[in-house]
Amino acid sequence: MPAGTFIFRTRTHNDEDFFNTINEINLPPRQLTKDFARCNRPFQSVFYASENRPTSFMELAEYWVETKNFGETLDVTIGRWELLNPLDLILVTSPNPENRISEFDKYHGTALDGFLEKQQGDAKEAAIMFFEYMFSKYRKPAKNDVLTYIITTAYSNLAILHGHGNVHGIYYPSVPFGQQGVNFAINQEFSRDNNLRLTHAVKNTFRIDENEHGKHSFTETNRIMTENIDLEKKTIKWEKE
């Protein structure tokens, strides 16, 4: 991803207070990262972000459904981060064109085709089998499937490790959003090394209702945005109502 690109990261509030420091919405503390996720093992901090606001929200919606009841409100803060340096990522797509349904896979599949054309014999066959396997794991809903998360986390860490400092994360479609958006899982070194700049923060309040199908529905009832961010002091100042 080129410098100047904007990515979005969402944090849920435990109450109605505001996040007042950049660190609160940046890389999560390792002690709070207790479980496997798509690209992290327990107690491994990863900067998860998305290409836009809807995708970032969708990544958390299924957690909100499990923890919130009809009639309650939900407060979340989303940060808009600018890449100050190019972000080099590994992407996972299918080696089989017929499995490339999303725009992400259709676009990036040609790069994988070029790589496979250079392989021969058993090496090519093994590469096709491996990439198709990883493709299936990164596209699988796995919130309650720790074995899938173990596999994708292992690949993410090994791929970044073998990038010898030239790879900063993983680039993959959003499973909860039906692969309509894409996510970034960025390693600690890049996210802590003055490569990201918070430009905006928005606190959203949602009312949780029951729709006609008995499911959760989220309606935005309030939005407060600020650009008043002190990068030196790492503070966020809000115009509170």
- pLDDT score, position 241: 56
Residue 225's pLDDT is what?
A: 95
Give the start-to-end residue ranges of the domains of the chain. 1-14+45-86+177-241, 89-167
> What would the pLDDT profile of 22-48 be if each residue is shown by its tens digit?
999 998 888 888 999 999 999 999 999
Residues of the chain with pLDDT under 50: none
Contacts (Cβ under 8 Å, ≥6 apart) of 168: 87, 88, 89, 160, 186, 187, 189, 190, 195
* Alpha carbon 122 to its chain's center: 34
CB 208 within 8 A of CB 71: yes
Q: What is the pLDDT of residues 58-69, one digit of tens each?
A: 888 888 888 889
Looking at residue 208, its pLDDT comes to: 93
Report pLDDT for 80: 96
Which stretches of the chain are DSSP H helices?
A: 53-67, 103-117, 121-138, 146-161, 188-192
Residue 175, pLDDT score: 87
